[in-house]
Structure 1
Amino acid sequence: MTAKKKEVTLQVSVINQEQWEEVLVTKGLTVVDVYQHWCGPCRAVLSLLRKIKNELGDDLLHFATAEADSIDALEKYRGKCEPTFLFYGACFEDLVQFMSSGPSHILVLSQLGDSTNVVQAWLDFIGPTNTEEAKREKPASLRAQYGTQTLFNALHGSEDSDRASRELAFFFPNFSTPSGTEQDVEEERVERTLALIRPDVARENREEILAQINKSGFKVSLQRETMLTEEQVRQFYLHHVEEDYFPALLQSMTRGPVLALALTREHAVQHWKDMLGPADVRRAQEEKPECLRAQFAVGDHPVNQLHGSESTEDASREISFFFPVQQTLAMIKPDAMEEHKEKILEEIRDRGFSIRRLEEKRLSRETVEAFYKKHTDQPFFNQLVEFMCSGTCLMMVLEKENAVEEWRAVMGPTDPDQAKTASPNSLRARLASDILHNSVHGSSSPHRSEEEIKLVFGDLSELTEADSLDENTTEGPQDVSSDKHQQQCESKHHQDENRNQSLRAGVNEGPEEASH
């Protein structure tokens, strides 16, 4: 009898829609065993659930059983014979929406001397999670002073050292705690610097230069191949315009696509300058023949073929010029929502994107037709619209340096078959099934991104300063990667099976292919 009683108290029994709705608003995490009347709940996991409950002792962890036959919300689980467990967190979507509504300030805290109690010291300092409890029991705590309710309680702190390690790894993947000896040594400075490979060398020697960059311990954190206008070159080299060599520099920079790289390592600015060598080509050849500017000099051309930032301040300005902070629309399509949503969101976080807006919605036919208006005359248009209206999508506004291109790179080519060859680690290569059901969407350009964000979310007043700068400069740099991708798609078009020909024909019409 005692065992039976424990079973009842361990799992709440839910047998109708009203009870189900009560479970959904239960504070904390609820694990629901969904069953059908003829087979009953899964008894094999009871001992495991009891063990979890006893070990954690968490009042916010709940277990329930739910009979699918009598609950309308669980209709899709009827007729299945495998065990099904659902996880529900009350207010979780509100928390996600709140945490992605603006920037957070993330700190790694330590204490002078002995830091073994830093986790508990910070928890004591910020006070209880519930702001009302904080005001009542610890009125001097930070949450009591600045929090308004449990969700908006102003601050977060790791619950224990294990959780602290996981959270540090999430926000700062390269973070490591220095040993006692290392703490006595000046910490090496991890920096970023801008590298430019000018057109003449970018065409012929880019792979060789990239190999030397990697061998020297640099990480290429951002990469962009772009065409510059004369006006942009003048803006970038504003302090060199009056120099005698500027006409030759201007000609060199506008002769073809420039490869721009943001390089990262300790003391990156100085290390890259050392690799480049003297700015004067003849001097570089005479004094430091092993340097990059000497190795990759072009005939008698007076302008060196590689650029590096002079200081950390210049690096910050120059990286912002080529890789402005942008916003782009991202969408998880209906075919990926059930199986791959969490995996895609994890990838987004791991790649350093900030989610500024997030909303799960079923798009209306009018919205989809407006979204894909460029494809109205294509034979696959109706099929595309029907698919996009067939289920819910997760709509997001992502923000990051060079966000439009970065998200396109994460997605991979529109056609999953091509993605498997050209970008095997991309989302479409790993998750998509065909060119129609290709899992994700991303804006094809900064201008298109603004249009799509406005269409889905309305006017957003939160345009960053960098967005404004990008607007002024992105009539160029004009990316050349989309042209290459289009050529690859057109080549691939003639090799693919007949069932996808009409889709590919429309996709390869022009740069708007990325919108599909």
Structure 2
Amino acid sequence: MASKKREVQLQSVVNSQNLWDEMLLNKGLTVIDVYQAWCGPCKAVQSLFRKLKNELNEDEILHFVVAEADNIVTLQPFRDKCEPVFLFSLNGKIIAKIQGANAPLINRKVITLIDEERKIVAGEMDRPQYVEIPLVDAMDEDYGEVQYESAAEVYNMAIIKPDAVLMRKNIEIKEKITKEGFVIEIQENMILPEEVVREFYNHIADQPDFEEFVFSMTNDLSCVLIVSQEDSEVIQEETLPQTDTEEEPGVLEEPHVRFAPVMIKKKRDSLQEYMDRQHMSDYCDIEDDAVKVSKFIDILFPDFKTMKSMNVQTTLALLHPDICEEEKDDVLDVIHNEGFTILMQRQIVLSEEEARTVCKIHENEEYFDNLIGHMTSHYSYVLALRRENGVEYWKALIGPKTIEEAYASHPQSLCVQFASANFPTNQFYGSSSKAAAEKEIAHFFPPQSTLALIKPHVTHEERMEILKTIKEAGFELTLMKEMHLTPEHANKIYFKITGKDFYKNVLEVLSLGTSLVMVLTKWNAVAEWRRIIGPVDPEEAKLLSPESLRAKYGLDILRNAVHGASSFSEASEIISNMFTEGNPED
């Protein structure tokens, strides 16, 4: 007699073919831990499964199962294997397989599939045509190649060289890469460490100009990309010949040939092959060795693997006017206590279009017009928040759309804690998805560029410390030139003071060596850079802003270490003058 399915903690047990067939009737996503009787289910991922079920299973479309391969005919290929195997069944179809207890990869797969399923149910996207994978051992040559996810995600590393960055080729290259279906996991402009340059370019170390090349790569700005590939295959339409007539017995007639479009699967080009085909190899170098790339990631982006494994996300949060005016500080305390990092924050009066977007879920209610009027006539508070599983966590924290619903189902939510007497609605807003968060954050916190200068008297060690401060402050180092500033160059940067008596002293200081001219980008960049560099006089800076760059590295009012544009219009004019193609640099 077949044993009955029973609950063991959060996972159902399937130990017969009948129960397997019954399990395939589950609606939504079922994650199946395939195990052998002699070793048992994988315990290493149970805490992850519990976390995922608590955070993602509000609509009961996520299921977890342990399946004993010994007693299930379908799972025969997995018998006598010691490595854990996880299958992903979506509405009864096995669409993916992960070998090995790789929690980050499993976590990402579950979140992606659940997010897609919810969008499909909500009518926000069409259901993809998933291909059911064969349940065979990928190492068994009799069964051929099996499509499944590797337990160790493979990345490529691309270095867009300094000359290409100055020519803005990095923008074009990134657009091409993403359009082709590659995913840019990280992108950062940086001065590369010598150890990375020497190892990355070890294959050309015997060339006579290699040392000169290393010097250039370790002193100028490169753009580093860590790239993954969503699919190893791509479906393409090709026109193939087909015949319209069938040959009849005894009749010799040349068949009519027509050309019809058909969809065929092809192996996708590697990143290197694609860059070669796009004639971008002169600007961009690729490393595809997984071991080397992993090492480079550890050196250049030490937090990346942890962030990926924790599924750290950024979301947009908005506090309605009643909260902004009366209880903002209390809410900020909650945000900190819940483990969020506040990346950016601002006070803003929403436009009508913005208010209608934020309050869209209430558009059929009688109070909607009054709500829009309130939102567009008072200050709201907008934040970009980051933490593990940030999008879903913030949505769960704030609760449902109305106070009545929140009292019934989420009495501990912020909606209940900070309920307003003016409206029956939730006084908080959160992004609905990662994609929505990216768009909303870009809208409310649009990036701005400013001009920054590190002066000649600053030592190399101090310069590196300043660049580190720039990175930690959240700036993107968009463009950079190391230049000996001639009077012509200086006039473009200091055009507002060229008529002052002390300007000749400024020119003298700038002539003492090379300066580092930079374009820094982030939201509110001009004001943020001015805040970080501090007052013009280093002595005053030490009193008023002791942590500022001028307080730390300035010597006197002329040799005050750094300079920054005083307004966005000034920054734009200087950037245009200094970084226009064809400008002299020396």
TM-score normalised over the length of structure 2: 0.46
Q: Structure 1 residue 360 and structure 2 residue 482: aligned?
A: yes
Counterpart of 1:273 in structure 2 is 395
Equivalent-residue separation in structure 2 for 1:297 and 1:421 (angstroms):
44
Identity level (%)? 31
> Compared with structure 1, are the counterparts of its residues 450 and 144 closer, same or farther at alpha carbon in structure 2 (3 Å cutoff)?
closer
Greater CA radius of gyration, 1 or 2?
2
1:251 to 368, 374, 378: 374
Equivalent-residue separation in structure 2 for 1:348 and 1:245 (angstroms):
44
Structure 1 residues 436-515: aligned runs within 5 Å = 436-458=558-580
Contact 1:412-1:429 within 8 A present in 2 as well: yes
> Compared with structure 1, are the counterparts of its residues 379 and 146 closer, same or farther at alpha carbon in structure 2 (3 Å cutoff)?
same
Give secondary structure in 1 for the equivalent of 2:415.
helix
What is the one-letter code of the residue matched to 2:345? Answer: R
Contact 2:403-2:415 within 8 A present in 1 as well: yes
Structure 1 residues 79-98: aligned runs within 5 Å = 89-92=211-214, 94-95=216-217
Larger relative contact order (C-alpha < 8 A, sep ≥ 6)?
1
Superposed CA RMSD = 4.9
Equivalent-residue separation in structure 2 for 1:442 and 1:241 (angstroms):
45
Q: CA deviation at 1:331?
A: 1.6
Equivalent-residue separation in structure 2 for 1:197 and 1:242 (angstroms):
18
Equivalent-residue separation in structure 1 for 2:537 and 2:419 (angstroms):
40
Structure 1 residues 141-152: aligned runs within 5 Å = 146=276
Equivalent-residue separation in structure 2 for 1:414 and 1:449 (angstroms):
17
Considering fraction of residues, name the structure with more helix. Answer: 1
Q: Deviations over 1:315-370 (max 9, x none)?
A: 12111112234443222123425552222234445556544432122334455445
Equivalent-residue separation in structure 1 for 2:407 and 2:540 (angstroms):
44
Equivalent-residue separation in structure 2 for 1:456 and 1:434 (angstroms):
26
Q: Structure 1 residue 171 and structure 2 residue 301: aligned?
A: yes
What is the one-letter code of the residue matched to 2:226? Answer: I
Unpaired runs of 5+ residues, structure 1, are: 1-56, 62-87, 110-139, 179-186, 461-516
Aligned residues: 338
What is the one-letter code of the residue matched to 1:173? Answer: D
Structure 1 residues 301-316: aligned runs within 5 Å = 301=423, 304-316=426-438
Q: Which stretch shifts more, 151-160 or 140-149?
A: 140-149
Structure 1 residues 335-374: aligned runs within 5 Å = 335-349=457-471, 353-374=475-496
2:225 to 102, 105, 120: 105
Q: Deviations over 1:265-306 (max 9, x none)?
A: 222111101221233345546764543233334553556543
> Compared with structure 1, are the counterparts of its residues 314 and 405 closer, same or farther at alpha carbon in structure 2 (3 Å cutoff)?
farther
Q: CA deviation at 1:260?
A: 2.6
Contact 1:245-1:303 within 8 A present in 2 as well: no
Contact 1:431-1:439 within 8 A present in 2 as well: yes
Unpaired runs of 5+ residues, structure 2, are: 1-201, 230-269
What is the one-letter code of the residue matched to 2:368? Answer: Y
Equivalent-residue separation in structure 1 for 2:274 and 2:420 (angstroms):
66
2:344 to 209, 223, 229: 223
TM-score normalised over the length of structure 1: 0.51
Equivalent-residue separation in structure 2 for 1:368 and 1:413 (angstroms):
21
Give secondary structure in 2 for the equivalent of 1:321.
helix
> Compared with structure 1, are the counterparts of its residues 316 and 431 closer, same or farther at alpha carbon in structure 2 (3 Å cutoff)?
same
Equivalent-residue separation in structure 1 for 2:517 and 2:360 (angstroms):
43
What is the one-letter code of the residue matched to 1:155? Answer: I
Counterpart of 2:11 in structure 1 is none
Q: Structure 1 residue 263 and structure 2 residue 393: aligned?
A: no
> Compared with structure 1, are the counterparts of its residues 107 and 383 closer, same or farther at alpha carbon in structure 2 (3 Å cutoff)?
same
> Compared with structure 1, are the counterparts of its residues 316 and 296 closer, same or farther at alpha carbon in structure 2 (3 Å cutoff)?
same
Counterpart of 2:30 in structure 1 is none
Contact 2:321-2:378 within 8 A present in 1 as well: yes
What is the one-letter code of the residue matched to 1:432? Answer: G
Contact 2:220-2:480 within 8 A present in 1 as well: no
> Compared with structure 1, are the counterparts of its residues 215 and 420 closer, same or farther at alpha carbon in structure 2 (3 Å cutoff)?
farther
Contact 2:546-2:552 within 8 A present in 1 as well: yes
Q: Which stretch shifts more, 264-273 or 304-313?
A: 304-313
Contact 2:534-2:550 within 8 A present in 1 as well: yes
Contact 1:233-1:250 within 8 A present in 2 as well: no
Give secondary structure in 1 for the equivalent of 2:571.
helix
What is the one-letter code of the residue matched to 1:233? Answer: E
> Compared with structure 1, are the counterparts of its residues 389 and 200 closer, same or farther at alpha carbon in structure 2 (3 Å cutoff)?
farther
Equivalent-residue separation in structure 2 for 1:364 and 1:442 (angstroms):
18
Equivalent-residue separation in structure 2 for 1:426 and 1:225 (angstroms):
22
Equivalent-residue separation in structure 2 for 1:390 and 1:429 (angstroms):
21
Equivalent-residue separation in structure 2 for 1:326 and 1:230 (angstroms):
21
Counterpart of 2:98 in structure 1 is none
Equivalent-residue separation in structure 2 for 1:248 and 1:418 (angstroms):
48
Structure 1 residues 66-145: aligned runs within 5 Å = 89-92=211-214, 94-95=216-217, 100=222, 104-107=224-227
What is the one-letter code of the residue matched to 1:440? Answer: V
Q: Structure 1 residue 212 and structure 2 residue 343: aligned?
A: no
Equivalent-residue separation in structure 1 for 2:434 and 2:275 (angstroms):
38
Give secondary structure in 2 for the equivalent of 1:154.
strand
Considering fraction of residues, name the structure with more strand. Answer: 2
What is the one-letter code of the residue matched to 1:156? Answer: E
Q: Which stretch shifts more, 359-368 or 315-324?
A: 359-368
> Compared with structure 1, are the counterparts of its residues 271 and 425 closer, same or farther at alpha carbon in structure 2 (3 Å cutoff)?
farther
What is the one-letter code of the residue matched to 2:286? Answer: L
Q: Deviations over 1:26-50 (max 9, x none)?
A: xxxxxxxxxxxxxxxxxxxxxxxxx
> Compared with structure 1, are the counterparts of its residues 177 and 260 closer, same or farther at alpha carbon in structure 2 (3 Å cutoff)?
closer
Q: CA deviation at 1:372?
A: 3.7
Q: Which stretch shifts more, 294-303 or 325-334?
A: 294-303
Contact 2:344-2:384 within 8 A present in 1 as well: yes
